[in-house]
Structure 1
Amino acid sequence: MSQPNKVLQRLLLPRAGSLLPLVLLGVLTGVIASLVMMSFLVLLNGVLGSLNGDNLEDFESLAWYWQLGLPLAGSLLLILLYRLTPPASWSVGLAYVLERLQFGQGRIPAATIGFQFVAALIALGSGHSVGREGPTVHLGAGIASQIGQLSGRPPSQLRLLLGCGTAAAISAAFNTPLAGVLFAMEVVLMEYSLLGFAPIIAAAITASALTGALLGEHAVLAPVSLSLASYQDIPGLLLTGLWVGLLAALFQRLVLVFVRLPLKARALRLLLAGAVTGALALAAPQVLGSGYDTINAALGNQLPWLLLLGILGAKLLATAAAIGLGVPGGQIAPTLMLGACAGGVAGALLPGTSDPALYALLGMAAMMSAVLHAPLAAIATVLELSLSAEAMLPAMVVVLGANLLCQHGFHLPSLVITQLRVRGQELQTHPLRTALAQRYLSELADLSLVEWNGEGPLPRTEAHALVVHRDQQYYLLKPAQLERNITPESLESLLTPARRLQLLERDMSLLQALRTLSGEDGAGFLVPVRRGRGLVTRGRLVRMLTEEGGLY
């Protein structure tokens, strides 16, 4: 192990469950994620500025052949990037981060971070209908994972650090620390915990403060002041929520249509995504890019409802094509634009005394919430971006209607879970099973053991356990219960199936361990740890699960 790694571990590993080391790691994650995100934003803004001038998202001013050809050119560059990089680096995005959390012990390979950085620059710079949020989450979580691995954190704390990286990256990219914290806990970790709040908040405020100090104000939406004019408009808000929820369900169905197209070659899928986006841009150039300029126009009540409706239809198709066909970008910014357009249409057509622009703002929260099943993160994102706290109550009403229709009317999971299911990966969503799946045997391992091959004199040891290796099987014996002059015959009588240990080649979650033990009479597991092997007995596992605070 290198000297810097040893120093890092001495500083940050006083106790496995200590909060202070996690907060320090959160701050470190915030600093590094902020620097990486600033580099990403500077490069992206440079690319967009060279195309669109000072108004970075102004793809509408480009000539028609640029609007048609730019997404196709981006697809060609992405194809070249895939050809020049190893397959191990190709997995990217929010869905991949959730996959590594549940199935990969929170370990994100460094190669995927670099690939995501470059691929997102190409996709966003060429006008594909994707957002920067998915890549942002991957970059932040990947950085946090690398920091956690270098500092030797156990899997459950490594998982928490991914939440820190997520919050830090979102805070740095959008100057929205509260939304970053809520997104990390609601969408990525899928739980709220007292242990997690402190390090995740530390990462978010560190990243936001550092980015603000170095880049200054970098808000993507213009601040607005919108509020509910009368409580008599609440029925209209409920209708708006149902309308947005219906569009969210349609959007998910369209994504699945493109995912299931019978095109196996990645190159053909990327070219089709570019062609669909370019063709739609000829009719509605607002579909190009993340669409923050269109959102600002909708919030300013500058677009007629017929134009908003046309943009909404084109953006639905372009975004579903980009996500379903595998363009390496995020889905949050496009969903915000879809919600703004849908809300703007509702505000123009529904009777009421509230500003129609209010409905555009509320539609953004409702669409993001319905697609990702993240109501608190969606409300915080929209309110922090717009600085319109007066919209809190109506936002909750619209989000409620949209979520009810999507989750209980159409029984749709979040888009991220849908993407993983298509790949054959089913995330645990039951609270108890989720908690057990996110913690690992190595965190419970007892290192006080001695191994003996059963030959020669019995080893003299004060260790808690004696592990006997015999005929490629491992057995657990208690040294105090053994005779000193043990014979091969008497030893053989002790090596029963009830004393057998499973030798694991890699760590196992508590959920997997319980499922394994429920089907046999074994004594427990030998688990790989940093210093060799650790022992987790059946009794120790039961005690840790039943004692208060045992999981930590």
Structure 2
Amino acid sequence: MANTHIETELAEGSPSLMQRVIALRERYLTDRQFTLILSFLVGLFAAVAAFILHWLIEEIQLLLTEGFDTETFNWMYLVYPVIGIYLTSLFVRHIVKDEISHGITRILYAISSKRSRLKGHNCWSSVIASAITIGFGGSVGAEAPIVLTGSAIGSNLGQLFKMDNKTLMLLVGCGAAAAIAGIFKAPIAGLVFTLEVLMIDLTMASLLPILISSVTATCFTYIFTGSDSLFTFTLDNPWPVERIPANILLGVFGGFVSLYFIRTMTACESVFGRLKQKPIAKLLLGALILSPLIFLFPSLYGEGYGSINILLSGKTEADWDTILHNSPFYGHSNMLVPYIGMVLLTKVFATSATNGGGGCGGTFAPSLFIGAFAGFFFARIWNIYNIGVFLPEKNFALLGMAAVMAGVMHAPLTGIFLIAEITGGYQMFIPLMIVSICSYLTIIIFEPHSIYGMRLARQGKLITHHTDRAVLTLMSLDSVIDKNYTAVSPDMPLASLVHAISKSHNNILPVLDNAGNLLGEIDITKLRHIVFRIELYHHFTVRQLMSQPEATLNVNTKMEDVMRQFDRTDASMLPVLDKDNHLLGYISRTHMYSVYRKIVADLSED
């Protein structure tokens, strides 16, 4: 039947090349088989995008900083980041002409509100914008832009081949997983990131495509860049049981650092948000914050992966002192701990100023950066004051990365597997689990949602693994409103009302005044005792017979609240009003539950 339908459609006119491809695909491949092919392509393209972005960043940074003297500070640190932010803002404003910041939040929003449809420009715009921002020294990460790029590639490939909404959601997850796997050469981390952060349910139907995308991206990244890990780490001091108390305390400390990061980031965003219509003012404010910080603490320049590597690979004080290069603190080894502490506190301001001023970047790399500095700072203070057993600082820098990532993203599994994979620190699995779990348990006391989900959670648009809430989030009020109703006026006699009832397809007739305001409603089931008595037709009017609705809804009512109102009132239909009390239509309990069951069935299919 499907093939006959396709052939009929193609016979009606001259089909395009894309139509022919889709027709052939539907004839010879099942949807599941084709989804696996698309997941491979998503992994390939995401790996290419990640390679291009990091190559652009490295080339720009090399061009700008090649001649810098490491033994003194450089005045250009005051200028480069501001130039980068300004160029990025011009690119976004005049070429992209769309909002591209908060990449992972935009993916979550697309999944919950736009049926997993991301715009075509997201396949390239974030790569260019973040390359300019980070290459010129913006203190943000490239991961969120690449995750948005990978997800956009998956979404647009799915749209190109007319895949259904569930497959689009899966391809968006494949793109995100491929991006993480490609950037870090960490396929397992890519998988668990998609499950924990994007809330894609793990079923047999979703597991294989996501794994294919992750492994494909990882393999092509190895081909493009070789076998070296992103960070250099060698375990010199194996983990003993005696360090468990220190691991627990580091996890708690990481949870509070994550809380500081999220709360400060949110506060800074609200300040820059007030200047939304004033791009020059945003740029100046961002420059006033960012330039002095990078001048004083050059570790804040760019993604900061060079500084992380110093903390992870250093073995002597001389090695760790190299983190002071290019700063006014150069040559003052006694200032290492204060320097580490100040960088830990100011990184969030540098990141907020970069994005708030008009740059483009994510919080993924900053959370790794802060985590490494927090872990090193914790271990150094512990050792200085001889609190307990000796703590190897570079090991705790590694553990700090997992702790802060788990807290900021509310993703302990991502923190565990990503840090293990990108550093080769598999022998640290037990302490990685301890610090990640403790960090997560600490932060959920204060923040129930991740830094990516909290914005959408406030709007009631966040998809979670809670099936009922996920389904209600995916449902839109507009999709269940019945706007085909028969309205009556309050002064209409019963005879005319009976005529209106004969034309209505609902049991409820709204009573409206001349301005369209809802005055009440006529419930046909309550009028059976008089509608057939012709002698009463001229003795009653609608005003005498109408009743007030059990409850009213408005255009901004969340679907979870709509369901709650139906459960509370046991009504069959409820009216939906706009902000001026004008009737928009009715929601039927029967229709709403029908849509609900359909979405549940779609989400539950394997």
Structure 1 position 427, deviation (Å) = 1.5
Q: Report the residue type matching 1:286 in the other structure.
A: S
Aligned 8 A contact 2:410 2:440 in 1: yes
Q: What is aligned with 1:97?
A: 107
Matched, 1:328 2:368: no
- Return the alpha-carbon distance in structure 2 between the equivalents of residues 548 and 115 of structure 1: 32
Measured in 1, the distance between the counterparts of 2:269 and 2:444 equals: 21
Aligned to 2:468: 433
Residue 383 (1) aligns with residue 390 (2): no
Q: Percent identity?
A: 25
Alignment RMSD:
3.8
Task: Give 1:27's match in structure 2, choosing from 40, 43, 47.
Answer: 40
What is the rounded CA distance, in whole Å, between the counterparts of 2:559 and 2:33 in structure 1?
25
Q: Specify the alignment match of 1:398 in structure 2.
A: 435
1:138-537 aligned within 5 A: 138-217=148-227, 219-225=229-235, 228-261=238-271, 262-264=274-276, 265-301=278-314, 302-303=319-320, 304-323=336-355, 327-350=359-382, 351-408=388-445, 410-420=446-456, 424=459, 426-429=461-464, 431-437=466-472, 496-497=505-506, 521=572
The aligned counterpart of 1:530 is none
CA contact (8 A) 1:75 1:271 kept: no
Q: Is the 8 A contact 1:229 1:354 kept in 2?
A: no
Structure 2 runs not aligned, ≥5 long: 1-13, 321-335, 383-387, 477-482, 487-497, 510-557, 574-589
When structure 1 is superposed on structure 2, of 39-48 and 141-150 the one drifting more is 39-48
Q: 1:28 to 1:439 in 2, by over 3 A?
A: farther
- Contact kept in structure 1, 2:461 and 2:473, CA below 8 Å: no
Contact 2:49 2:127 (C-alpha < 8 Å) held by counterparts: no
| Residue 276 of structure 1: how far off its partner (Å) | 1.5
Distance 1:28 1:545, change over 3 A: closer
> In the alignment, is residue 114 of structure 1 matched against residue 124 of structure 2?
yes
CA distance in 1, matches of 2:402, 2:472: 31
For residue 127 of structure 1, the aligned residue among 124, 132, 137 is: 137
The TM-score with structure 2 as length reference comes to: 0.71
Say whether the 8 Å CA contact 1:12–1:25 is kept in structure 2.
no
Residues 354 and 412 (structure 1), Cα distance of their counterparts in 2 relative to 1, 3 Å cut: same
- Measured in 1, the distance between the counterparts of 2:100 and 2:600 equals 41
Q: Write the distance in 2 (CA, Å) between the matches of 1:256 and 1:41.
A: 28
Structure 1 residue 258: Cα displacement: 1.0
Cα offsets for 1:10-40 (capped at 9, x unmatched): 4554799953222121012112222233222
How far 1:81 moved relative to its partner?
1.6
59-68 or 194-203, which deviates more: 59-68
Return 288-297 or 320-329, whichever deviates more.
320-329
Query: Residues 543 and 550 of structure 1 are in contact (CA less than 8 Å); yes or no, is this contact kept in structure 2?
Result: no
Tell me by how many angstroms 1:547 deviates. Answer: 7.6
* TM-score relative to the length of structure 1: 0.78
Report the alpha carbon displacement of residue 226 of structure 1 after superposing the two structures with TM. 5.5
Contact 1:270–1:327 under 8 Å retained in 2? no
- C-alpha separation in 2, matches of 1:69 and 1:539: 58
In 2, the alpha carbon distance for the partners of 1:31 and 1:93 equals 20
CA-to-partner distance for each residue in 1:290-332, whole Å, 9 max, x for gaps?
Answer: 1111111111244343432232123233124334555320111
What is the aligned partner in structure 2 of residue 528 from structure 1? Answer: none
Question: Tell me, what secondary structure is at the counterpart of 1:367?
Answer: helix
Structure 1 residues 218 and 413 mapped into 2: Cα distance closer, same or farther (>3 Å)?
same
The residue that corresponds to 2:18 in the other structure is: 5
Structure 2 CA distance for partners of 1:251 and 1:548, relative to 1, 3 Å: closer
Which 5+ residue runs of structure 1 have no aligned equivalent?
442-470, 475-488, 501-508, 523-535
- Distance of aligned partners of 1:164 and 1:511 in 2 relative to their CA distance in 1, 3 Å threshold: farther
Rounded Cα–Cα distance in structure 2 between residues aligned with 1:436 and 1:14: 32
CA contact (8 A) 1:102 1:437 kept: no
Q: Distance in 1 between matches of 2:85 and 2:601?
A: 55
Instruction: For residue 263 of structure 1, give the secondary structure of its aligned residue in structure 2.
Output: coil
Shift of 1:169: 1.7
Letter in 2 for 1:429: T
Shift of 1:336: 0.6
Of the three residues 51, 54, 66, the one matched with 1:38 is: 51
**Greater alpha carbon shift after TM alignment, 134-143 vs 211-220:** 211-220
Letter in 2 for 1:338: I
- Distance change >3 Å, CA 225–CA 263, structure 1 → 2: same
Structure of greater Rg: 2
Residue pair 1:227, 1:354 contacting (<8 A) in 2 also: no
Moved more, 6-15 or 70-79: 6-15
Question: What is the aligned length?
Answer: 487
- Distance 1:126-1:227 versus aligned 2 partners, 3 A rule: same
CA contact under 8 A between 1:144 and 1:161: conserved in structure 2? yes
Summarize deviations over 1:412-462 as a string: whole Å, max 9, x none. 52111234457x464143602344257679xxxxxxxxxxxxxxxxxxxxx
| Whole-angstrom distance in 2 between the partners of 1:254 and 1:517 | 40
Does the 8 Å CA contact 2:232/2:313 hold for their aligned counterparts? no
**Alignment match, 1:486:** none
CA distance, structure 2, for counterparts of residue 60 and residue 70 of structure 1: 17
Deviates more, 1:257-266 or 1:542-551: 542-551
Give yes or no for contact 1:241–1:402 (8 Å, CA) kept in 2. yes
Give 1:375 deviation, angstroms: 0.6
Change (3 A) 1:322 1:229: same
Q: Return the offset for 1:260.
A: 1.8
